[in-house]
Amino acid sequence: MAAKKSERVNLVIQMAAEQENAAAQALQHAQQEELAARQRLMDLKAYYAEYDKRFQSQTQALRGADLAHARGFLANLSDACRAQTLLVAQCERKVEEARQQWQQAHLKTDNLERYQSRCRDDEQRVEDRREQKLLDEHAARKR
């Protein structure tokens, strides 16, 4: 006897679930990258603030060349903060894209599972009718 429709869809559901799991892992990876990028940005900003505070307190004591070097270093730190801010924004976009892909994969799996459930319900109704018909025939023969 041929497999029931609800059983035949199992493989498709399994493949969709695997895609959903892969999308969930990609989302988790993107979230971890975003978190790491945010932490690096916070570290850079804290280092900038600390260095700037030291620089401001020592401005009077620095020679011209040291003052220029310190200002150049602060400018480089500022550039690094801007670059890291852009990287955080890029990571945020990647997280959003990964979230959308996971949501689509989850929706696909969910829809397939609901389809399988409807197929099982239909198959059960057909089986119930068949059994009822057999019972009716058996009862008609006994009369």
Sketch out the chain's domains with CATH numbers: 7-142 (1.10.287.1700)
Percent of the chain with pLDDT over 90: 73
Identify the band that residue 39 occupies on the pLDDT scale cut at 50, 70 and 90: very high
> 115 by DSSP, 3-state: which?
helix
Output the pLDDT for position 1. 59
pTM of the model: 0.78
Q: Give whole-number Cα distances, 108 to 14, 75, 101, 120, 128, in Å.
A: 11, 50, 11, 18, 30
Best CA proximity match to 115, nearest among 2, 10, 1 = 10
Q: Which range is least confidently modeled, 48-62, 65-79, 90-104?
A: 48-62
What DSSP state is assigned to residue 9?
T
**Is the per-residue pLDDT at 143 higher than 80?**
no
Q: CB-based contacts of 25: which residues, under 8 Å, 6+ apart?
A: none
Q: CB-based contacts of 74: which residues, under 8 Å, 6+ apart?
A: 48, 51, 52, 55
Report the alpha-carbon distance of residue 41 to residue 2 in Å, rounded: 60
How remote is the C-alpha of 115 from its chain's centroid? 25
How remote is the C-alpha of 109 from its chain's centroid? 15
